[in-house]
Amino acid sequence: PSRLDWLRMHIERMGGAYIATVTAFLVVNVRVEPAFIPWLLPGLLGGFGIRYFVRKYALEKSRVQAMR
């Protein structure tokens, strides 16, 4: 893969690992009602975060390379 593809995949995979870690921590250690909140909230917020950082870094770098 190109450097831009690598960067995009790296951001997505590291973000996914972070979401999984936070989800596991919340499910085991936090008691809230309704009980599905710790299962859904990290994925929803993390998904938006991943999208933001992919757009910010990977797509920004592709624009810079296109200008060269």
DSSP letters of 17-46?
HHHHHHHHHHHHH---SSTTHHHHHHHHHH
pLDDT tens digit string along 1-54?
Answer: 788 889 899 999 999 999 999 999 999 999 999 999 999 999 999 999 999 999
Dist. CA 24–CA 56, nearest whole Å: 27
Dist. CA 9–CA 58, nearest whole Å: 9
Check whether 64 has a pLDDT greater than 90: no
Query: In which domain, by residue range, is 11 found?
Result: 3-67
Q: How many domains does the chain have?
A: 1
Q: C-alpha 24: how far from its chain's center?
A: 15
